[in-house]
A and B are shown apart, each in its own frame.
Chain A
Amino acid sequence: QVQLQESGPGLVKPSGTLSLTCIVSSGSISSRNWWTWVRQAPGKGLEWIGEIYDGGITNYNPSLKSRLTISFDKSKNEFSLKLKSLTAADTAVYYCARDHSSGSSGYWGQGTLVTVSS
């Protein structure tokens, strides 16, 4: 079954840009699925960041939209997140996921902790 793995820096400076990649294995990034990013601040609940669909259609959380870009690299079978103008409030575990049905996320990466600090 499809497997997802997040990759990226664990520490990013305030005002900097976060770049994360989700590597997809045992499945094609070109399948007709929604590929999603979700984050979880320490001790907090889950926050839906945004998603991308085959063809490059994207939906972003309005609270992050001005700072966010989600894109594919189909040659590498992966998708990525870029979040700019970081603050401490962006410190979180970031998860990538793939949809299952009715908007649910059935496949998840293990998550990667990103700390925003100087």
Chain B
Amino acid sequence: DIQMTQSPSSLSASVGDRVTITCRASQAISNYLNWYQQRPGEAPQLLIYASFNLYSGVPSRFSGSGSGTDFTLTISSLQPEDFATYHCQQSYSKPYTFGQGTKVEI
């Protein structure tokens, strides 16, 4: 299985901050990397698919980049509703695998 490692595991930030979360794959996955946001008690929601494509309805302050083994999710200006846990997922090889999550806290 492909191992996905996110960093950091958690971070503290303020409204308006620029936030960057990284995800590293244990082997090259081209651009088959997806990002999800999960608020407490809710299901994950797709933010970014195939490394950099913004899912419908997702605000433009979210962006993704990367290819191969190293990927980044950036929130350009953190909003109150963005305090949540973010998960990366590789969809290059089954079983699809997720990172351990990054919790963004105030």
A residues contacting B by CB (< 8 A) are 38, 45-48, 50, 59-63, 95, 100-106, 108-111
Tell me the complex Cα distance, A60–B94, Å: 8
Minimum C-beta distance from A43 to chain B (A): 10
**Apart from A45-B99, A48-B98, A104-B49, 14 more pairs, CB < 8 Å:** A45-B100, A46-B101, A48-B97, A60-B95, A61-B95, A100-B46, A102-B50, A103-B32, A103-B34, A104-B89, A105-B46, A106-B46, A108-B45, A110-B42
Q: How many pairs, one residue from A and one from B, have CB atoms within 8 Å of each other in the complex?
A: 67
Are B87 and A46 neighbours in the complex by a CB distance under 8 Å? yes
Are B43 and A110 neighbours in the complex by a CB distance under 8 Å? yes
B7 interfacial contact with A, CB 8 Å = no
Are A47 and B94 neighbours in the complex by a CB distance under 8 Å? no
B91 interfacial contact with A, CB 8 Å = yes
Residue of B nearest to A36 (CB): B96
Residue of A nearest to B49 (CB): A104
Residues in B neighbouring A110, C-beta threshold 8 A? 42-43
Give B25-39 interface residues, CB cut-off 8 Å to A. Answer: 31-32, 34, 36
B residues contacting A by CB (< 8 A) are 1, 31-32, 34, 36, 42-46, 49-50, 53, 55, 87, 89, 91-92, 94-101
Residues in A neighbouring B100, C-beta threshold 8 A? 45
Tell me the complex Cα distance, A11–B100, Å: 26
Residues in B neighbouring A45, C-beta threshold 8 A? 87, 98-101
- Known contacts A103-B34, A109-B43: A46-B89 contact under CB 8 Å: yes
Are A103 and B55 neighbours in the complex by a CB distance under 8 Å? no
Please indicate which of the listed interface residues A47, A48, A62, A106 has the most CB atoms of chain B within 10 Å of its own CB: A48
Residues in A neighbouring B92, C-beta threshold 8 A? 103
Residues in B neighbouring A47, C-beta threshold 8 A? 98
Give 24 CB contacts A-B under 8 Å.
A45-B99, A45-B100, A48-B95, A48-B96, A48-B97, A48-B98, A59-B94, A59-B95, A62-B1, A62-B95, A101-B53, A102-B31, A102-B91, A103-B91, A103-B92, A104-B34, A104-B49, A105-B44, A106-B46, A106-B49, A106-B55, A108-B44, A109-B43, A110-B42
